[in-house]
Amino acid sequence: MDIYLRYFIVLIIVVLLTRWLTRKAEWGFSWSQLLIAMAAKVLMGSLYGFVFLRFYGGDDTWFINGDSMNELEKLLTRPAHFFEDVDIFRLVSENGWAGGLAVFQMKMEQALIIKPLAFVNLISGGNYYINVVAFSGISFWGHFWLYQACLAAWPQLKQWLFMLIFLYPPTLFWLSGIRSDAWLFFFFGLLIYIYGKWLARGQAGYLVLTILALAGISFIRAPLVAVIIPSLVAWWLVVKKQKPQVKAFLGVHMIAMVMFFLSGLLPSPLNLPEMVAEKQASFFALEGKTRVSLQKMEPSPASFIKMLPQAADNAFLQPRPWNTSGALQLLMVVQNLVLLGLFLTLIARRYPGRALLAPYPMSALLAYTALLTCLFIGYTIPFPGALVRYRAIPEICLLIWLSLAAAGDKISHYKLINVYKNRGF
């Protein structure tokens, strides 16, 4: 009985605190939306833990939860040393600048998860399912900020965006477990929301938060920063310099591509093509039950061009329905079919959502970030099981863009979602 009491105490604290923080949301966020969104997060987070414990022996999510108990012990017995593992000055002095910063990045990714959970463990005693509730109070915000940013552009699609961002089962599943992906979405959603605010209002506080969001992303998945910065620059050019959106985004990304390959003339760690090739090699060295056959990359433009069809196939069409292994890979097949169906609809209907998307450079950012991130994943990760988790954030961006682009003004809560209105009520 004690464990259930602790569970409901943490749940009530998380819900009430989240409600208090969202009560004055610019685009509104009702009690019913909060309860639905939080229930979905907690249920999927619990399912995530159960699936990986029952069928995969715990995986990293249970090991991370166990590490948080070690942090609790440190908090109680050696509180002055609680942050010693993320002391950047000590790490740099011991490992040099390059090595120290690399270790600091790794330690920060771990610390973002296990140190907050150390405090929760005072109540939960390390129970995974109670900690999932508390962790949902953090991971919820990535969804919320992305939702608010999208509503600023398309307030008429409130219900559709809520369903996509908060309730789409595959991405919700991968972003609800006790993993760093939830923190990555936290910082990604904050970046999209705050950067738009800074461009609109120019307040220094928004710029500071933008930098903090980029720093948070770099702790967890540094390549995503490199992928998203060109889109941020293009967004700035459209808003501040009144440049045409298509020219701004295409021009900036072409320049970024040239700079990427020119960096191949520089020594490591400034050699970006070499870094991508090394990332692929690090994944090749891992063991996995299901592996996609990928060509070994070389840090040259010719290698990237030659591998492009294979990377796209790996990112969007693997695994094939006939060679899936387990329920999670079968779910990935369904995800791929959804994306493919939206893409084919977009082509068949000749891009009816152009007028809906064109006025908002944020939509171009979502599309470019999703495509480039998926391609990077396709180049480097040969394991469908890992790929689907890494693809969760770009996939939700791609779903938003593709659904609006393919459906146009038909995707409205007045015409499509509100069934009572359709029936004449």
pLDDT at 412: 61
pLDDT in tens, 274-321: 999 999 999 999 887 778 889 999 999 999 999 999 999 999 998 888
Neighbours of 204 (CB within 10 A): 8
Residue whose entry in the numeric block shows the structure tokens 């120019």: 202
pLDDT in tens, 171-205: 999 999 999 999 999 999 999 999 999 999 999 99
Rg (CA), the chain: 22
Task: Give dist(CA 20, CA 14) in Å, integer.
Answer: 10
Dihedral of the CA atoms 80, 81, 85, 87 (nearest 10)? 40
pTM: 0.94
352 residue type, one letter: P
Neighbours of 147 (CB within 10 A): 22
Task: Give dist(CA 176, CA 38) in Å, integer.
Answer: 10
- Token readout for 23 is 């009560």
Assess contact for 189 and 141: CB atoms under 8 A: yes
Q: Which of 86, 76, 138 is nearest to 111 (CA)?
A: 86
Dihedral of the CA atoms 343, 348, 350, 354 (nearest 10)? -40
Q: What angle separates helix 31-56 from helix 59-77, to the nearest 10 degrees?
A: 100
Can you give the residue ranges of every domain in the chain? Answer: 1-178, 224-425
pLDDT in tens, 94-123: 888 888 888 999 999 999 999 999 999 999
What is the full per-residue pLDDT of the chain (425 aa) written as tens digits? 589 999 999 999 999 999 999 998 989 899 999 999 999 999 999 999 999 999 888 788 999 999 999 999 999 999 988 999 988 989 888 888 888 888 999 999 999 999 999 999 999 999 999 999 999 999 999 999 999 999 999 999 999 999 999 999 999 999 999 999 999 999 999 999 999 999 999 999 999 999 999 999 999 999 999 999 999 999 999 999 999 999 999 999 999 999 999 999 998 878 999 999 999 999 999 887 778 889 999 999 999 999 999 999 999 998 888 878 778 888 899 999 999 999 999 999 999 999 999 999 999 999 999 999 999 999 999 998 889 999 999 999 999 999 999 998 777 644 444 433 333 32
Q: Which of 293, 287, 264 is nearest to 378 (CA)?
A: 293
Assess contact for 419 and 359: CB atoms under 8 A: no
105 residue type, one letter: Q
pLDDT at 165: 97
The DSSP result for 308-321, as a single string, is HHHHHHHHHTPSPG
> 20-25 — which CB contacts under 8 Å span 24+ positions?
22/144, 25/144, 25/148
